[in-house]
Amino acid sequence: MPFETLKPQVKSIVLNTKKTVDERLLAICELLETHIDYYNWVGFYFRNGSKEELKLGPYVGAPTDHTIIPFGKGICGQVAVSNQNFVVPDVTAQDNYIACSITVKAEIVIPIFVNGENIGQIDIDSNTPNPFTEADERFLEFVCKEVATLF
């Protein structure tokens, strides 16, 4: 399903105040994982209070042991420090990669900003080598801007 058709669905999920924030975040994960073939694990990480670490939030996909990630460690931890999108076409080429599953070939992480502060990120793993394009980045930036309105 093309990104443009998913945007109104993301907005609708975010605006559904009958659900908790975590329920809405999970619904976004489910929407993306279901409708984008090469999104095999979709989840959110958020800053863990005032600590220099990320805590796993809602996600869909294989269970992960990485529920806490120190800033600077792995792709997610690097994004927490750099405040920049990070697209990894081939996870085996990354020295600072934290392997979640042997099936993962690529990863994309986009930060979420509230009032200019990086509060978390969306993390997507793919079992397809080099699947992410600039269109994925722009779409996921849109998703993160929508998610930011929940905080």
- What's the CATH number where 20 sits? 3.30.450.40
Q: In what order do the strands lie in the sheet with 41-47?
A: 68-70, 53-60, 41-47, 117-126, 106-114, 86-88
* For the chain, counts of helices (H) and of strands (E): 4, 6
Domain that holds residue 105: 3-148
Reply yes or no on whether the pLDDT at 32 is more than 90. yes
Is a pLDDT exceeding 70 seen at residue 143? yes
Q: What is the mean pLDDT of residues 85-92?
A: 92
On average, the pLDDT of the chain sits at 95
Q: Tell me the whole-structure pTM to 2 decimals.
A: 0.95
> Which residues, other chains included, contact 148 with Cβ-Cβ below 8 Å and sequence gap of 6+?
112, 113, 114, 119
Does residue 98 have a pLDDT over 90? no
Section 47-64 average pLDDT: 96
Number of domains in the chain: 1
Residue 26 has pLDDT above 60, yes or no: yes
